[in-house]
Amino acid sequence: MEDIEAIAALQDPVRRRLYEYVVAQGRDVGRNEAAEAAGVARTLAAHHLDRLTEAGLLESGSRRLTGRSGPGAGRPAKVYRRAPGERSVSLPARDYRTAAELLAEAAELAGLDAGLCTAARRRGEALRETAGSCGSLEEAVELLAARGYEPHIEGADAGSGEGSVAAVTAAGAAATAPVIRMRNCPFHAVAERFPPLVCGMNLALLEGLLGGSDALRARMDARPGECCVVIEPSKNNDH
C-alpha cells in the first residue's frame, strides 16, 4: 500500500513536474529554483515538495545555497533530492525481482557470463532496429532516456551548450570530450547482488543498442549511485 500511495502522490501535475525536475538535476534543489522551473509560486512549490517528501519520493535537508559560510552567509535553505529506494506497483501482485535474482544466481554459479552477454547484445541489436538512428550523443540521450537510464551529457562545457559533440575542439578533445553519464540503472536491484554479471550484461546490451553507430561506444566506468556504463565518442571518430 505504501508504494501505491507514493505513486499516487505524482498524480497532481504540478507535483509531478517538481518531482521530475528535482530528479533530473542529480543534486540538492532549493524551493526557489524548483518553483521557477515548474512555473509556480514558491509557497505552492514548498507545499508539494513537502508532500513528495512525506510520500518518501524525495528527501529533504538544509544547507546554504550562497556558497558562503560564516556571518552574513544567510540562513540555511531547505533543499530536496530524490530519495533512495524503488517504488513499484503490480496488479495482481508479481515478483519479477526474485525471479531475476534467482536466474542471475544460477547464471553466475554456472559460469554463464559469456552466454548472457551474447544474449544481451542480441537484445540490444533488436531494440536498435526499432529505435532509429543513434549517431550522436544527443540522439543517444533520447534513446537512453526512453529506456529509463536518465542520461545527461557531461564535459565539453555541458553547462553552456549542452555538451554537444561540436563543442569538442582539436586542442581540448582529450581533456574535455563530452560523455553520457546515466543517473539510473534499470537493473539496479539485481546489479547490487550480482555486480560483475549484471553490469557486464548491461554493457553488452548498450553495445548492441549503439552497435550501428561508428560515432559512439560504450565502456565501463562505474560511479557510486549511477549506471556503471558511460557512452562516449569513438576514438576513431575523434578529430
pLDDT tens per residue, the chain (239 residues)?
A: 688 889 999 999 999 999 999 999 989 999 999 999 999 999 999 999 999 999 999 999 998 776 656 555 567 899 999 998 888 888 888 999 999 999 999 999 999 999 999 999 999 999 888 776 677 899 999 999 999 999 999 986 554 444 444 443 344 444 568 999 999 999 999 999 999 999 999 999 999 998 867 889 999 999 888 999 999 998 765 54
**Dihedral sign (CA 205, 208, 209, 214):** positive
